[in-house]
A and B are shown apart, each in its own frame.
Chain A
Amino acid sequence: MSALLEVSGVSVTFDGFRAINNLSFNIGARELRAIIGPNGAGKTTFMDIVTGKTRPDQGSVTFGDRSISLLKLSEAQIAQAGIGRKFQRPTVFEDQTVFDNLMMALKKPRSPFAVLFFRPSQPDAARVQALAEEVGLGQHLARKSGELSHGQKQWLEIGMLLAQEPRLLLVDEPAAGMTLAEREHTTALLVEMAKTRAVVVVEHDMEFVRRLDCKVTVLHEGAVLAEGSLDHVTRNPSVIEVYLGRG
């Protein structure tokens, strides 16, 4: 299976602290993957490197069919190449309507000139309507997103990610602060999304990871400690020692 994202031998150091240590990681084109690990294991730094926020000291990160290197691209170029990122805290533009938020995320030319002369066409508006309905916000298009509830903001952000049509989706702790019913909905949504694209979920909550029922990568001190099914990794003695043993 050819990998969509290939991270190999990546290291990054912050003020002498080695946050990522010779990390290698692959993910296929249609795969759901959970990344777990204790605090400070390098989960967020890993996402920062893939999305271009942090530059690694060494190693390579390649993406897509033609294996383009992500290390020379800016955050915006990486996003345009097809990598979407969902933050733990819902970050929608609260001052603007649900419609405007989705329209901004819709996959369209992103240069200032193209955007300046852009006016939404009928199909664009229909696509936004369809996306809003998909995430359960069909009735709320004209509302300011700041007025939405916490859960609705999460859905809006997922809708914005869908509008971007990414090939790889990085999701940071999607279940944080959610009720049981919302968690189930989120699980179903993530599994559904992984059918057409790669999804990487960073999560603390073992119960949630179990629901996802996918391959798990355990990070520890900036490197891969174990990889495999959840049952497989939880039987691994070193995983028990560094992670579960403490929990």
Chain B
Amino acid sequence: MRQGFLTRTPSVLIFLALLALFTLVVTLASHAYGTAFLSTSFVKTLGKTLCLCLVALAMDLVWGYAGILSLGHMAFFALGGYMIGMWLMYARTEDIVVQAQANAPLPATPQEISDGVASQIFGVVGGAELPAVWAFAHSLPLQLALVVLVPGLLALVFGWLAFRSRVTGVYLSILTQAMTLALALHLFQNDAGLRGNNGLSGLQNIPGLGQVSQDRLSVWFFWASAGALGLGYLLAAWIVSGKFGSVLRAIRDDEQRVRFLGYSVEGYKLYIFTLTAVIAAIAGALYYPQAGIINPAELAPIASIYLAVWVAIGGRGRLYGAVIGAAFVSLLSTWFTGGRAPDLSLGFATIQWVDWWQILLGLAFVLVTLFAPQGIGGLVDWAQGLRAPNRRGAPLGPDAGALQEREATE
């Protein structure tokens, strides 16, 4: 009965091998380290896509396995981005201010530098003081800790309140969506101290790495994203392969029964909700330095709905399904909305994909939900079914002593 973790879950090895191969190919085709076949902006797009795959993985854990349809995980993703963005912006502005004051007759005091940074960052919203939320922005380690702590604590408090009151199903989805919206509206205000609707910008310039070209940086971030996705996949596969995964799926299928088995359903939900919020935040912290800019529109509820659509199309309840869905749909979306897809002429009307892509996506979502609930991942089952049909445990032959299905594995 007992086997090693990787032999029990061969899909993990396959996934990691494919991810490593993909990373190698992209590296060899990049400007900085290879043939320059892929443009730097496309390498960034691929790196961002890997981050989206990671947050989709988190969504699959919380929705596909535990059955909590959270429409708030992109808020945790964006919060992670804001936390790292604050340090990026502060440290880079500090460099600029120090350089500008280098020629002054007297060396600048720390207070002068701090004031200079504040007026540089907040001049755009008419402020000259650093808000309290920027208290740790000068320190990379502290701000990195906040990447995990802020979304994690928000998820912990929100989840505790929601799960303790036994809010489930669509009501919980609405609640998470309300949380996202409230957070977005809060950040849109200049008073929130994160530059209102301007958001944080210039995040692609990494302080201290000014002399490193974007060609190289894009590949470095691509590597970091691939590494994070690989580790995230390992963690998720480890979680769902054991008894914890068993309990999660049991909660999804019959919550009340799990309670009578003696498991605290609320505790488990809170655990997985908070853990996935942290994974989402880490994905966001890797995403936004590649995107270069973050603003409150990133927290719009629609972003979290897209996340659910990716996971549904990819196939929820299986980890590689979420990754496939996120990669496939988001890359397709980039292609269609980037204006590169050729217009479709119907004679009486012309379909411009920039406008029509969302309708196509919505249609795909409805069709997948109705006719292929397994999503793209279901194709894997179908392919395996061709080789080893599932006989639902029936004997393979008509005789009484015929091999049972499970005895007949190769």
Contact = CB atoms under 8 A, between A and B. Distances in A.
Contacts of A125: 1-2
Contacts of A93: 246, 249-250, 253-254, 257
Interface string B240-259: 00111011011001101101
A105 B253 CA distance: 15
B406 to A, nearest CB: 5
A64 to B, nearest CB: 15
B242 A164 contact: no
Interface in B1-50: 1-2
Given A76-B262, A76-B263, A122-B2, A96 B393 contact: no
Which secondary structure dominates where chain B touches chain A?
Answer: helix
A112 interface: yes
A119 B243 CA distance: 7
A75 B267 CA distance: 13
Contacts of A80: 262
B136 interface: no
Interface string A97-135: 001100111000011100110111010010000000000
A140 B393 contact: yes
Contacts of A116: 239, 242, 244
A75 B242 contact: no
B392 A112 contact: no
Nearest to A83: B260
A142 B8 CA distance: 14
A147 interface: yes
B259 to A, nearest CB: 4
A20 B261 CA distance: 25
Contacts of A160: 261
B271 interface: yes
Nearest to B252: A95
Most buried by A among B1, B243, B244: B243
Contacts of B265: 76
A91 B257 contact: yes
B243 A103 contact: yes
A176 B249 CA distance: 28
A186 interface: no
Contacts of A122: 2
A105 B250 CA distance: 11
A240 B260 CA distance: 35
A85 B262 CA distance: 11
B269 to A, nearest CB: 10
Interface residues of A, number: 38
A74 B242 CA distance: 25
A77 B262 CA distance: 6
Most buried by A among B239, B267, B404: B267
A75 B260 contact: yes
Contacts of A226: none
Nearest to A142: B406
A104 B2 contact: no
A56 interface: no
A121 to B, nearest CB: 9
B90 to A, nearest CB: 36
Given A96-B246, A96-B249, A142-B406, A110 B2 contact: no
B268 interface: yes
Interface in A43-73: 51, 53
A96 B240 CA distance: 12
A104 B247 contact: yes
B264 interface: yes
Given A93-B246, A111-B264, 6 more contacts: A79-B260, A87-B257, A96-B246, A115-B263, A116-B239, A139-B404
Interface of B: 1-2, 239, 242-244, 246-247, 249-250, 253-254, 256-257, 259-265, 267-268, 271, 392-393, 404, 406
9 contacts: A79-B261, A80-B262, A93-B253, A93-B257, A111-B264, A118-B242, A119-B242, A120-B1, A164-B261
Which A-B residue pairs are the 10 nearest by beta carbons? A79-B262, A75-B259, A80-B262, A112-B271, A76-B264, A116-B244, A93-B250, A91-B257, A143-B393, A125-B1
